[in-house]
Amino acid sequence: MLLCHLADISTLIARPTGRPEGFLVPHTRLEVPFLLSFLRFYSLIQFEESVAQALFDLENTNSELKSDLKDLYINSAIQVDVSGNRKAVVVYVPYRLRKAFRKIHLRLVRELEKKFSGKDVILIATRRILRPPKKGSAAQRPRSRTLTSVHEAMLEDVVLPAEIVGKRVRYRVDGTKIMKVLLDPKERNNTEYKLESFAAVYRKLSGKDVVFEYPITEA
């Protein structure tokens, strides 16, 4: 458990004698990074609690989602910078519950975006990447646990409720490449306003640059 609230920390730094036993006060340069890490961790925990509270409130006040949310929970939640002051909310859900979350994806995301006004909400199933087995080892790595497979599945999660209908790779002059992902235009109304967030979140989670577009249809 955390030792104190953020409001108490500045007081403890200013008056070291008032600190609880075992609390590290940044007297030296080496201790300052520790405090900064502590503050970031505390902020992350607070944000996760706010997402969990939002889901709890929906379960108790939204008749359409009440029965569906009853047995659902999340693993974690983070915020990702998009552009300027804009942020996206990324909610990690248990892999085994991904289908249950997909059933209510559109309704749930809409309600969460109301609670986190001005922030796009993206749900992603928690997946684990396994290292390749050592040479000569009898152990086999499931394809679903490879880096490529996990990144592909993550990409599909990011763009929900749209489906990916095409991919193209474009090479820049400097030799780097960028992937262009084409989304099903049927879900354009539900996803077009989030394209910038899709790109920012996927870049943050995979380190890859992606441009999201819709296929050009003939009139």
Give the model confidence (pLDDT) of 107-153 as tens digits. Answer: 999 999 999 999 999 999 999 887 877 776 767 777 777 888 999 99
SS (H, E, C) 92-141: EECHHHHHHHHHCHHHHHHHHHHHCCCCEEEEEECCCCCCCCCCCCCCCC
**pLDDT over 90 percentage in the chain:** 58
Task: Count Cα neighbours of 66 within 13 Å in the Cβ-side half-sphere.
Answer: 5
Residue 17 has pLDDT above 90, yes or no: no
pLDDT at residue 35, as a whole number: 54
Contact between 144 and 183 under an 8 Å Cβ cutoff? The reply is no
Mean per-residue pLDDT for 80-101?
94
pLDDT at residue 143, as a whole number: 78
Where do we find the tokens 């289908």? 99
Give the C-alpha separation, 136 to 102, whole Å.
40
Q: pLDDT higher for 11 or 61?
A: 61
pLDDT at residue 209, as a whole number: 92
| Residue of 94, 205, 73 lying closest to 150 (CA atoms) | 205
pLDDT at residue 114, as a whole number: 95
Convert the pLDDT of each residue in 48-71 to its tens digit: 899 999 999 999 999 999 999 999
Mean per-residue pLDDT for 99-111?
96
| Residue of 122, 46, 38 lying closest to 80 (CA atoms) | 122
Convert the pLDDT of each residue in 202-215 to its tens digit: 999 999 999 999 99
Q: What mean pLDDT value characterizes the chain?
A: 82
Ordered domains of the chain (ranges, CATH): 26-126 (3.30.300.20)
State yes or no: cis peptide before 161, omega within 30 of 0: yes
